[in-house]
């Protein structure tokens, strides 16, 4: 019985040492894109600064929604990754070979798989951003606004 008590004591001490309180930080919006007719958010890019790094979040309205307010979120760490994401997404609008047929590219962003593909809708090129849990489409001008590029 004494051995069980000592074992339980060590287990509880180990579990206590793994819990570290994070400083409460507020989210800062980088950019937001709305649907033109309803002003409903299509996508919001934001970040939160922590002691060790900056976490970015891309919240988007899922076009495959089952509910009218079905929003999904991608998260990743670091400004460099955010800059690479913007450049990669923008390249789909500037490179004609990426606009042909069913061309797509798949990346890992944070812990999620993201596939990018250009679709043409009513003569306008849009980027389809597809994840395992949802997707959205965005135009070139909207992309600049989302990433606060003027």
- What pTM does this model have? 0.80
Residue 101 has pLDDT above 90, yes or no: no
- Identify whether the C-beta of residue 147 lies closer than 8 Å to the C-beta of residue 141: no
Alpha-carbon distance of 150 to 143, in angstroms, equals: 10
Alpha-carbon distance of 28 to 25, in angstroms, equals: 9
Residue-range definition of the domain harbouring residue 127:
24-146
Q: Chain centroid to CA 110: how far?
A: 8
Q: Is 64 helix (H, G, I), strand (E, B) or coil?
A: coil
Alpha-carbon distance of 79 to 19, in angstroms, equals: 27
For 90-100, the pLDDT digits (tens) are 999 998 888 88
Is 18 a domain residue? no
Is 133 a domain residue? yes
Give the CATH number, domain containing residue 104: 3.30.2450
Sequence length of the chain is 150
Number of domains in the chain: 1
Is 15 a domain residue? no
Is 110 a domain residue? yes
Is 94 a domain residue? yes
For 129-138, the pLDDT digits (tens) are 999 999 999 9
For 22-60, the pLDDT digits (tens) are 666 789 999 999 987 788 899 999 999 988 899 999 999
């Amino acid at each position: 019985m004494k051995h069980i008590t000592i074992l339980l004591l060590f287990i509880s001490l180990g579990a206590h040492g793994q819990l570290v309180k994070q400083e409460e930080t507020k989210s800062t919006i980088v950019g937001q894109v709305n649907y033109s007719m309803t002003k409903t958010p299509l996508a919001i890019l934001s970040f939160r600064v922590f002691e060790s790094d900056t976490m970015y979040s891309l919240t988007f309205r899922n076009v495959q929604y089952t509910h009218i307010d079905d929003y999904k979120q991608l998260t990743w760490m670091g400004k460099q990754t955010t800059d690479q994401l913007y450049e990669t997404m923008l390249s789909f609008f500037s490179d004609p070979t990426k606009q042909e047929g069913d061309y797509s590219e798949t990346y890992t962003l944070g812990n999620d798989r993201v596939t990018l593909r250009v679709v043409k809708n009513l003569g306008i090129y849009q980027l389809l951003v597809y994840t395992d849990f949802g997707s959205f489409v965005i135009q070139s001008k909207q992309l600049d606004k989302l990433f606060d590029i003027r």
